[in-house]
Every structure is written in C-alpha cells, then in structure tokens.
A and B are shown apart, each in its own frame.
Chain A
C-alpha cells in the first residue's frame, strides 16, 4: 500500500512535531512546514494527497492557503483546518473558500487521524 502524502502547515514547532510523529506512526508521509512561504514552495513542487493547515501562520494564513489551492492551483485536494477555539468567523470563511473539515485547538491527535482518514476515504 502506497503511503499517502500529507502536508502539515503548523507554525508551532512543538505541536507540529507532535502531530507529524503521530501521523507518521500510522503510515502517512508527512511534510511539516512552519510558515506560508514554505507552504507555497512545497505546493509548487508537488501537491500532496491532503493538507492539514493552521489558520494563523506567518506570511500566509490558512485562509489564503485555501484560496491559493482552490483558485490558483485549481486543486481539489482535501484541506483540514486547525483553528483556535472561538474562531468561528475564520472557520466559516475557510468553509466558504472550500475547506473540507476543521478541528479546533487543543487538538486531539487521535481525532485528527480520524478526520484525515475520513477525508482521504472520500477521495
């Protein structure tokens, strides 16, 4: 079975490292980036099977990322947004722009796994 590629955009290195470890443990091929520039660079090279992105990131927010992927790259890759609790407006904007799912902080790694698997199963 070919492992799925996952792009994890999370500016908090600790959390990113933790989530990457968890996702790698179940077999995903995870690329962890910490800001918007790196996200763009990574997406310019290759489009992963799924993107998990924080909303608040330097240079390039999660909302802009969705807009970039959906409109400029014209890709339908599933995007899961990680947002802080009580950030409903951003979440709504994300959904309007084409986000597939969202998960709020504090993140339960197990929950994230389930959501990622569900989105990949849809595709």
Chain B
C-alpha cells in the first residue's frame, strides 16, 4: 500500500510540457532537412559508385582485348602483329599513367589469373611485371595502413613476383596478424625454400586455418621437394612443432621416431595428440612403453588416443595394461576404449554383456542338455572371463582403486609379473606346445586358447609366449600390419632358451640327451655304415669324434640303416637318401641365417659301399676337401670302414653361367671405316686389318661419312657371347666429295698409327683426346721437321697414348704393311700434294667457321634478337641479368653489343650489318617509330610523336632530328617540340643540342645582317616565308619555352607570337650569352 501511494504521488508531479508550436515546426523542418541530406548523400554516393563501376566496366572492355593480344602473341607472329603489339604496349603504358587505369588493369589481371591456366597464366604474370604494375604493389608495402600492405602482398604473391620475396619476408613477424598471415603465405608461395625460412623465423602463433592454408599452398606447388621437417621438432615455438608434426605426417617422413616418441611427453595436449597420431601412422611400436608411462597423467581425450594407438600397435603383452585401465580408470569413455583396444589386439576377447540373458537357470531337460553339451561343449574359460569383466566387477574395482594414487608403469609390470608367476606354477607341461618342432602350430594353438579365455589365461599364454613363442612372435605377422618390431630380435638366445626350457620340462622322461629331437635338418651328419647287412648295433667311436663331443658320445649306440652301393643308377639312391626335412614355411624359418654359395651348386653323390666304382663319363674327379674326416677314417682302420683315400667323389657337371652384359651402347664402339676412297688404293682397308678398327676423329670438312643401315642412336646390341671383340658392326664407305683426288698422304699416315683390335674397355674420350689432329699433320708435312723435333713429338705422343696403342704402334710388321699399302711416293706427287694443300688452306681460311649452338643457345640468341628488334634502354636490366647468367662467349658478345647500343654508346650494328628492310643505315640508331612513320598518315604521326615523348630514348632523338626536316610543317613543329620534351626527359644537356648549335652558328655568322640571318635560319629550318607578312603572324609554341602541351586561353595569347619575334628573341639571347 505504501508503495502504491508513492507511485501515485510521483505521477501527480508529472505535467505535460508546454512546447511552442513554432519550435515543433522548426524541429520538423530540421529533421526533414537532415533526412533529405541523408538520402541525397546516399543517392550521390550510390551514383558515384555506379559511375565508377560503369567506368571500370568500360575500361575493362577497352583493355581486355589489349590484354588478350599480349597474352596470345605468338613467337612466330607476323610483322604486322608484332607492330600491333608494340602499338598496344605503347597505348597501354600511356593509359596506366593514370592511377585509376593502373588500378583497373591490375584488377583485370588479378581476375584473369583466377580463370586461366597454363601458358596464358604465365603470360599474365609476365605482363604484370612488364607493365611495371608490381612497382605499385611495392609502394603499397610501405603504406601505413595494414589493409594496403596486405593488398600489396596479395598482389605480389598472386602474380608470382619472386623479386618481392625479400621485402615480404620481413613481415613474417609483423605485429599485425593479417599482414603476418599474408606474408607467411607469400613466402611459402614465392620460393621453395620459403617454408624453411618461415618455420625458422616465425615467433607467433600459427592458427589451424593458417596451417591448412599453408599446407594447401605446399600441396599445390609444382615440383616441390619437401624438406625434412623433423628439424623443426626442436623449435621453441610450439606451433612450429605442431605444424612440423602435421607436415611429417602429411609427407610420410618416417625418420623422426625418437623425436616423435619424446613429444608424447610434451605438456601441450595438441602436440601430444599429434605425436600419438604420428606414432599410430608410422607404427612406432617402440613408443608403446612411453605411451603407457604418460597415460595416467593425460586428459581423457589423450588417454583415448593412447588407447587407440595401443590397440593398433599393441600385442598380447599389452593386455594386462589394458585390463588394468579397465579396472582402475574412472572415466567411462576411457574404460570403453580400453576394452575396444583389448578386442583390437585379440579380437572377440571381450564379448557383449549388456542385455545378455543368463542361460544358467534355464530348465532344459537333462537328455537335451546332455546332447547339447556333447555337441557344443562350451569353454568354461569364457564364463570365467565374463565374470571378471561384468560391469559390476569393473565398477567395484574402479571405485576401490580410484582412491589410490595413479599407478606408474613399474607397478603395472610388477602386478603382471606376479600374476604370471602364479600362472606359471599352475601351468602343466603338457599344455606347452613344442615350439621347436612346430612353432607355427603353437601360435595357432595359443591364439585359439586366447580367444574366449579369461585374462588370467591370457597371461598364462603370455608367459608361455615368453618362453616358447619368442621366435614365433618375431616372424608372425598380423593381417594388415607390418612387422611390429623392425629391429631383429636375438633369435639365437630365444632358441637356446626355448630348447633349455623344453629340455628341463622333459628331463624326467629322457634317457639320453641324444634323444632330443633336433629342430633342424640332420642331413649334414655323417652316415655311419655297418659293413654287414642286418640290424647289428655297432659302436660309433671315430665317426662321432668328428662332432667334437667324443667323450660324451663314445658309448652311444646308434641305429643305422644300410645304404646300398651306388653302381650305375644314381637317381634311385638319391631318392632313397633324401634329407630329413620339416614342414616349415619360409616365413617360419626366416631366422636362420641365409648362406649364399658363391659358386654354382654342385650336387655330390658319395658312394661308401663300393668305392672302386669308377665315375661316369660326365663326372669329374675331385679331391676330398674334408681332411678331418679322412684322418678319422684312416685312424679307425676297422672292418666295415672304407679307406677315404679310395673314395671317389662324384659330382654333376657344372654349367657355369656367369653374368654377361647383355647389351651395350653402340656409342661405346669405335667408329670403323672400311674403305677410304681417294687417292689411296680402294682396297686398302680390306688388305690392311689395322684400318678396320681405327677410330679417328674426322675434323676436316672434306669428308662426308655416310652410315648405312645403322639404326638411330643409341642402339643396344644384344650380345650372345662374352667376347665383344667378335661383334661385327655395319658400316659403309667413306666417300669424299669433290676433293677425293686431293687426299694427301698424311691422312693415311694417321691410320698407320692406329691400333688393331681396339679393346672396348679403354676410355674413348682419352682416345679422342689423343687422336692426332689432321690439319696439324698436314701443316707438319708442309714444313720439314727436324729429326729431333719428330723424336720429341713421338715421345710426347707415346706418353699420351695408352699402352695398348703403343704396343700396336711398336708392332713392326703391321706398320710396314700399312705404309706399303697406302704410301705414295715420288717428287712429282709431293710437289702436287703440297700445292693442293696450300690451295685448300687458302680456301679454308675464307670459309666461315661453324657455329654449333645447342637448343639453349639458340633460344638465347633468339631472345637477344627479339630484344634487339623490339627493345630499348628499359631492357638494360634484363640484359644485365642475362649477361651475368650467360657463360657462352657468343651470347656475351651479342649482349654487350645490344647493351652498348641501348646505352647510346654504340651504333646499331657493326660494319657488316646490312640494312633492315631499308630502314637502317650504317651507324644510325634505329627507332621503331621509323617503321610506323613510313606507313601512317599525318594525324597518326602527330599522335606517335606524343608517344615518343613518353617512351622514346636516344634513338628517338636522332629520329626526331631527322623529322625536323620533314616536308610536312605540322610534323616539323611537332617534332621540334617533341625533341625538346624528350631531351628534357632524358636529361640531355641543351648545350649538346645540335640544332641549337647550328642555329647559333647561323645567327652569329660574321658580316651578316639580321634579315640575312633570319632568311638563312628559315632556310635551315625549311620554312618558306609567305609573301605577305600579315599571313606570317601565326600562333605557335616557342621552342625554347616550357609551355604545356596544349595551351589555350589568354596565357596562350601571351606566349604566342610571330616566328619573326621569336627568332629575334633567340638571336638576342644568344648575343647576350656571347
């Protein structure tokens, strides 16, 4: 009530405000005005946007065809197309002087980059740089606003401006995240080593999204060779470590097992999780103990991941650990995962318990139950295990154990060991499968026992495994996994342990140690033969001595069989005496060391009973190598034994098949010339075997070597024989063209020094290097050498020649054969020959030398030609770069020549240069505009003159100088103006202006009146003065003044004047200077 009263009292105080109506109208008008302004602003803004959009669209329509022209200009384009290309380039360069155009062109190129691929895309990148748009992006990098910097980075990245790598990489650790992320992507995109630099230098967080983007960039990189990312596992930036782990997994780099295992202990959960994933991916079984150790201190998600990994990688030894988790862990998902892991290791170990009806209390008639039990005996161990894993049990144990501190790994092992000890005591000997006999079966048997048994039974089997399956575990493989432990286990130790265990278990039943069934074939044991046929037992003393256990086995009674003597048919005996073999697969026997016999296998058949039998015709006699055995037999000298000296060892014929090279490159063979047609005898080669095998390097252009029926190189010639000297090579004659009559004797003398039967294994390069130079020899024949010189040369040649060649040279009979066969003697012949040689040399010096360019060189020269034709001084950086890269002298000379010309230091071409379609004269710089001026009208020329100001260089200065004498007046005027502007742009000293100097000379000629000077100047400028002076007063832009391009209005009037006035002013100025 009190509250209500207060309210009413308060309301009483409120009264309607009294506002003047005029004020209300004023306010209404004010708000209407504001609304109007608001809508007007919106309208204007929208209109402006629309206008800009339309303008952009228009510009795009205008520029798109130009860009298409640029992109699709082919190298083999016609001259018109190239001219059009240059025109467009000039045009677009003019356009992009405007910032708006520049921005629009950049947008167009960026848009097209998304839509096109292949060569067109590459051309786009080139065009971006060629138009200098990347300079604009560089400027953006220096902006203050982050969005501009980011945009600049994006442009440079997307247009693949690799030169910007250094600039952008500075932004990797920028404090602004957007710039940083753009820089990271740019650095990785632009260069292959960018990822290394990024991972090395980044100090900041790498977000998940950023990691995905970077991986996408890496995946899309062409020919990317990923570095070894394990290097960055030691980084102090945990995000780098995480990213490195992901990259390791992505690129399957399984070379960092230890580091990955160590990272499981990392305090960061994400790194831990990633490391566990890597362990699972790479099947790092060595990491299981570490996983078990860190398990208890991890979060639920990590525990689940660990259990998943153990389930994938674990073995039966890990089951106690999993059982322990199932009992002790309080988290339900972890317990469930532990059970799942148990089932993953040994399937069907844990059976479903939820909703299963207990069938023990079912009332089944006794007769039916009996029959059922007989047909389907249920394994009691299953029930036993089910009891142990009922939810009630697990809940109880877990609640009990929760109060305890988290156990460590050693606790687990202790407990497991205690269980194992108890199981060991209970285990009976007959349950242990004899692993030494049939290990494979033992595994199967044990595995079957594991299925459906309780965990204690599993531990028993684990214990059993430790004793008996240590071998089998090493070579038993899971269905879909690789071998768990790549490291080889100590097999011998396991074997000895298993055999010892086996021995102890059967100790009571064994009478003698010799009755142990061997695990291996005993075929290698010597066979003891009784001389008499029957079943008599004989003491084996000396024979057993060979085993080295004489003291223990002297008294052993050995049963033996009678072996029938080998007489004729060895096959029967071979079949009877097959070695004892066990049915084991290769996989089971893999632990036995593999012994490879280096020699071809030889099967020897021993005949003990009838040693006097001689060998078969296809057998050979061998000496007995095993002397110990022979000595033992000799010492025995007892009846029933055979004297080893009389033994005849038989073996099968050995068919040796050594590895023979089945093919070789025909390039390795020396070139063989059979006939040399010329002045020598045509059958020279046939008569002289030495000529058949020589391999001279033909350097003279006189010969044309024609090979017939030779396939294209390289040729693989199959060899049936090991002796490659027997190979015959197809060849054809060497024909000389036109000069066959001139063939000098000295050429044949080369052949004399060549060896016969050239071995193929010598170094052909060395041979070629040592082969005599034909021209030198010719010259040597011309000038008579002294005996000492020839001896000295011979010594040098001998030092350089291989030994086999020297032998051949030293062979006297062959040398004489060669000389007698091909030598032509007589003073007439010598005189004729020397004259001919002289003539040949005379003609040869005028022949141009061959320029053999490879494909790269051809491309380079082509490029240089293009640059020479189309380029100007802006290509100087490119030429400079080319010069640094290029190593070939011809290209370097060409580059220097072009550079010199572009710099204005050299004429267009050397003295031998021909005129290019009549446009280029010697020592005159060539301007591309000359071509255009030849074919276009006056208006076009005027437009082009404007362009010259923008793009011209020194070449254009010369050209403009020529245009000053153009018959067309407008052209002359425009040229003069253009020349001035161009010189200003190029920074040419006005004092060097030829025209000015000439004008000054003209004006200051002694003894000339003013009128005369003017007339002469006008004549010089090719200006025809009108007859009527009034007509002569025309508007024109003064040459020496800095007038804008188009001057209109009152200012124009001020600056305009008659030619006469201007010349007078010029004249006065020149006089003042003087």
The CA of A84 and the CA of B262, in the complex, are separated in Å by: 45
Q: Mark A95-115, 1 if CB is under 8 A from B, else 0.
A: 000000000011111110000
Is A3 an interface residue when CB atoms closer than 8 A count as contact?
no
Q: Mark B47-81, 1 if CB is under 8 A from A, else 0.
A: 00000000001001100110111011000000000
Q: Would A14 and B120 count as touching, CB distance under 8 A?
A: no
The CA of A21 and the CA of B71, in the complex, are separated in Å by: 10
| Chain B residues, Cβ within 8 Å of A106 | 114-117, 121
The CA of A107 and the CA of B108, in the complex, are separated in Å by: 16
The CA of A17 and the CA of B59, in the complex, are separated in Å by: 13
Is B118 an interface residue when CB atoms closer than 8 A count as contact?
yes
Is B112 an interface residue when CB atoms closer than 8 A count as contact?
yes
State how many angstroms separate the Cβ of A14 from the closest Cβ of chain B. Answer: 6
Is B403 an interface residue when CB atoms closer than 8 A count as contact?
no
Q: Would A107 and B69 count as touching, CB distance under 8 A?
A: no
Contact of A14 among B72, B115, B121 (CB under 8 A): B115
A sample of 5 cross-chain residue pairs with beta-carbon separation below 8 angstroms, ordered by A number, consists of: A12-B115, A14-B60, A15-B115, A106-B116, A109-B72
Contact of B64 among A18, A22, A111 (CB under 8 A): A18
Is A122 an interface residue when CB atoms closer than 8 A count as contact?
no
Given contacts A13-B61, A25-B72, A109-B72, contact A18 B116 (CB under 8 A): yes
Count, chain B residues at interface, CB 8 A = 21
Q: Mark A1-38, 1 if CB is under 8 A from B, else 0.
A: 00000000000111101100110010000000000000
Contact of A108 among B61, B68, B117 (CB under 8 A): B117
Interface centre among A14, A15, A17, A25 (most CB of B within 10 A): A14
The CA of A107 and the CA of B65, in the complex, are separated in Å by: 17
Q: Would B64 and A14 count as touching, CB distance under 8 A?
A: yes
Given contacts A18-B71, A25-B72, contact A13 B64 (CB under 8 A): yes
The CA of A24 and the CA of B61, in the complex, are separated in Å by: 17
| Chain A residues, Cβ within 8 Å of B115 | 12, 14-15, 18, 105-107
State how many angstroms separate the Cβ of A87 from the closest Cβ of chain B. Answer: 14
State how many angstroms separate the Cβ of A84 from the closest Cβ of chain B. Answer: 10
Closest to B124 in A: A18
The CA of A111 and the CA of B120, in the complex, are separated in Å by: 11
Main secondary structure of the interface of A (DSSP, over half): helix
Is B119 an interface residue when CB atoms closer than 8 A count as contact?
yes
| Chain B residues, Cβ within 8 Å of A15 | 112, 115-116
Is B430 an interface residue when CB atoms closer than 8 A count as contact?
no
Q: Would A18 and B61 count as touching, CB distance under 8 A?
A: no
The CA of A109 and the CA of B121, in the complex, are separated in Å by: 10
Given contacts A13-B61, A106-B114, contact A18 B68 (CB under 8 A): yes
The CA of A121 and the CA of B1020, in the complex, are separated in Å by: 68
State how many angstroms separate the Cβ of A15 from the closest Cβ of chain B. Answer: 4
Count, chain A residues at interface, CB 8 A = 16
| Chain A residues, Cβ within 8 Å of B71 | 18
A-B contact count (CB 8 A): 57
Q: Would A110 and B118 count as touching, CB distance under 8 A?
A: yes
Is B551 an interface residue when CB atoms closer than 8 A count as contact?
no
Interface centre among B64, B111, B121 (most CB of A within 10 A): B64
Q: Among residues 541 to 577 in chain B, which have CB atoms less than 8 Å away from a CB atom of chain A?
A: none
The CA of A17 and the CA of B70, in the complex, are separated in Å by: 13
Contacts A17-B68, A18-B67, A109-B120 given; 12 further ones with Cβ under 8 A? A12-B111, A13-B61, A14-B111, A15-B112, A15-B115, A17-B61, A17-B65, A22-B72, A25-B72, A106-B114, A108-B118, A109-B72
Q: Would B118 and A14 count as touching, CB distance under 8 A?
A: no
Q: Mark B113-145, 1 if CB is under 8 A from A, else 0.
A: 011111111000000000000000000000000
| Chain A residues, Cβ within 8 Å of B114 | 105-106
Contact of B65 among A21, A105, A108, A110 (CB under 8 A): A21
Given contacts A21-B69, A25-B72, contact A108 B64 (CB under 8 A): no
Interface centre among A12, A106, A107 (most CB of B within 10 A): A106
Q: Would A21 and B117 count as touching, CB distance under 8 A?
A: no
Q: Mark B472-508, 1 if CB is under 8 A from A, else 0.
A: 0000000000000000000000000000000000000
| Chain A residues, Cβ within 8 Å of B112 | 14-15, 18
State how many angstroms separate the Cβ of B123 from the closest Cβ of chain A. Answer: 10
The CA of A12 and the CA of B60, in the complex, are separated in Å by: 11
Given contacts A105-B115, A107-B115, A108-B118, contact A17 B72 (CB under 8 A): no
Q: Would B61 and A107 count as touching, CB distance under 8 A?
A: no
| Chain B residues, Cβ within 8 Å of A13 | 57, 60-61, 64
Given contacts A13-B61, A14-B108, contact A108 B69 (CB under 8 A): no
Q: Would B119 and A110 count as touching, CB distance under 8 A?
A: yes
State how many angstroms separate the Cβ of B107 from the closest Cβ of chain A. Answer: 10
Q: Among residues 67 to 123 in chain A, which have CB atoms less than 8 Å away from a CB atom of chain B?
A: 105-111
The CA of A109 and the CA of B68, in the complex, are separated in Å by: 11
Given contacts A13-B64, A18-B68, A21-B69, contact A108 B111 (CB under 8 A): no
Closest to B67 in A: A18
The CA of A106 and the CA of B119, in the complex, are separated in Å by: 12
The CA of A22 and the CA of B67, in the complex, are separated in Å by: 11
The CA of A14 and the CA of B818, in the complex, are separated in Å by: 78
The CA of A21 and the CA of B74, in the complex, are separated in Å by: 13
| Chain A residues, Cβ within 8 Å of B120 | 18, 108-110
The CA of A17 and the CA of B121, in the complex, are separated in Å by: 15
The CA of A12 and the CA of B64, in the complex, are separated in Å by: 12
The CA of A109 and the CA of B112, in the complex, are separated in Å by: 12
State how many angstroms separate the Cβ of A123 from the closest Cβ of chain B. Answer: 26
Closest to B81 in A: A25
| Chain A residues, Cβ within 8 Å of B61 | 13, 17
| Chain A residues, Cβ within 8 Å of B111 | 12, 14
Given contacts A14-B60, A17-B64, contact A111 B69 (CB under 8 A): no
Q: Mark B89-120, 1 if CB is under 8 A from A, else 0.
A: 00000000000000000001001101111111
State how many angstroms separate the Cβ of B86 from the closest Cβ of chain A. Answer: 18
| Chain A residues, Cβ within 8 Å of B67 | 18
| Chain B residues, Cβ within 8 Å of A110 | 118-120
